[in-house]
């Protein structure tokens, strides 16, 4: 069954390019108002220009997620520009530097987890309670199916933490009208995925939108956007 999301507000982090930019476009095509996010002020200019042809409102916030306060600032900016959101795409993330697993310092582990996982917790803690009060919300956090690469263990472990967080938080959100999912976009040719990725970035649609535009996926599930390429 399809869900009408026209007129709702969505925050898409990491939407200055790549996957986040595609998700923002896909939501705008369905009438969703968008809060874009970039690390630096002005980074979302290109995405803003791509959204001009749609009959929606588009705002921008900015900030880095490498500290708890940075994530809290993004929450505060988002609430200031639109009053509240209905849809959250936690799409930002980093990879740790490629090196042998024994050589990865604790500081590198901590930074990877702060950006990829703890900042997601901060976003959810700040933005989900108002969704519960309204009785509607959709949260999609970007995960990864990356397997068996010891040199990227901090990255892979931070994504595994997202999967567990989504599973547990879905129990907290039961019967609230707020659903949460983890979305694996697939190995895409992006700045993060590199030039050898299996798929172009455009193939993240429409799969990335499935938990928002339909009710076919039970809350708390990890899903692959590439499984819905022919939707």
CATH number of the domain enclosing 30 = 3.40.50.720
Q: Is the pLDDT of residue 116 over 70?
A: yes
pLDDT, average across residues 72-93? 97
Distance CA(213)–CA(128), nearest Å, equals 19
pLDDT mean across residues, the chain: 93
Q: Is residue 79 part of a domain?
A: yes
pLDDT, average across residues 209-229? 91
Q: Is residue 4 part of a domain?
A: no
pLDDT score at 203? 80
User: Do residues 157 and 118 make contact, with C-beta atoms less than 8 angstroms apart?
Assistant: no
pLDDT score at 102? 97
- pTM (2 decimals)? 0.94
Most confident listed range (89-98, 178-187, 191-200): 89-98
Q: Is the pLDDT of residue 190 over 90?
A: no
Q: Is the pLDDT of residue 59 over 70?
A: yes
Q: Is residue 149 part of a domain?
A: yes
Q: What's the pLDDT tens digit per position in 60-72?
A: 999 999 999 999 9
Q: Is residue 3 part of a domain?
A: no
Q: Is the pLDDT of residue 198 over 70?
A: no
Q: Is residue 29 part of a domain?
A: yes
Q: What is the DSSP string of 153-218?
A: HHHHHHHHHHHHHHHHHHHHTTTTTEEEEEEE--SBSSTTT-TT-SB-GGGGTTGGGHHHHBS-SP
pLDDT score at 225? 86
pLDDT, average across residues 159-169? 97
Distance CA(68)–CA(66), nearest Å, equals 7
pLDDT score at 195? 65
pLDDT score at 229? 74
pLDDT score at 145? 79
Q: Is residue 1 part of a domain?
A: no
Q: Is residue 2 part of a domain?
A: no
Domain extent at residue 141: 9-228
Q: Is residue 81 part of a domain?
A: yes
Domain count for the chain = 1
pLDDT grade for 205, boundaries at 50, 70 and 90 = confident
Whether the upstream peptide bond of residue 206 has omega within 30° of 0, thus cis, is: yes
């Amino acid at each position: 069954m399809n869900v009408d999301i026209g007129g709702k507000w969505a925050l898409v982090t990491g939407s200055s390019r790549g996957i986040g930019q595609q998700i923002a476009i896909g939501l705008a095509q369905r009438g969703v108002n968008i809060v874009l996010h970039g690390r630096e002020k002005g980074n979302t200019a290109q995405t803003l220009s791509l959204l001009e042809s749609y009959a929606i409102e588009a705002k921008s916030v900015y900030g880095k997620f490498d500290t708890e306060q940075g994530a809290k600032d993004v929450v505060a900016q988002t609430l200031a520009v639109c009053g509240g959101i209905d849809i959250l795409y936690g799409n930002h993330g980093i990879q740790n530097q490629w090196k042998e697993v024994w050589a990865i310092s604790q500081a590198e582990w901590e930074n990877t987890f702060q950006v990829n996982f703890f900042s997601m917790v901060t976003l959810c803690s700040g933005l989900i309670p108002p969704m519960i009060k309204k009785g509607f919300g959709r949260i999609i956090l970007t995960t990864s199916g990356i397997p068996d690469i010891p040199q990227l263990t901090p990255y892979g472990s931070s994504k595994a933490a997202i999967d567990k967080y989504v599973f547990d938080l879905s129990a907290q959100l039961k019967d609230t009208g707020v659903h949460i999912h983890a979305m694996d976009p697939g190995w895409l040719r992006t700045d993060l995925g590199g030039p050898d990725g299996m798929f172009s970035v455009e193939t993240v649609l429409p799969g990335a939108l499935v938990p928002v535009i339909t009710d076919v996926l039970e809350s708390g599930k990890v899903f692959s956007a590439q499984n819905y390429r022919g939707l």
